Structure 1
Amino acid sequence: MRDADDNQTSRTPPLGASAQAPAHVAIIMDGNGRWAKARGLPRTAGHKKGVDAVRRTVEAARELGVGTLTIFSFSSENWRRPEEEVSDLMGLLRFYLRSEVAELHKAGIRLRVIGERARLSDDINRLIDDAETLTGANRTMTLVVALSYGSRQEIVAAAKRLAEDVAAGRLSADAIDEQALSGRLFTADLPDPDLIIRTSGEKRISNFLLWQAAYAELVFVDTLWPDFTKRDLEAAIDEFHRRERRFGATTASTR
Structure 2
Amino acid sequence: MNTFPNAQEGAGEKVNHPFIVALDFPTAEDVKTFLQPFQHESLFVKVGMELYYQEGPEIIRYLKEQGHRIFLDLKLHDIPNTVKRAMQGLACLGVDLVNVHAAGGMKMMEAALEGLDAGTPSGESRPYCIAVTQLTSTNEQMLREQLLIERSMEETVLHYASLAHKSGLDGVVCSAKEVPLIRQAFGESFLTVTPGIRVATDEKNDQARVVTPYEARKLGASAIVVGRSITRAADSYAAYERLQREWNGEEQK
Larger Rg: 1
Do they superpose with TM above 0.5?
no
TM-score, length-scaled by structure 1? 0.41
Structure with more relative contact order (C-alpha pairs < 8 Å, separation 6 or more) = 1
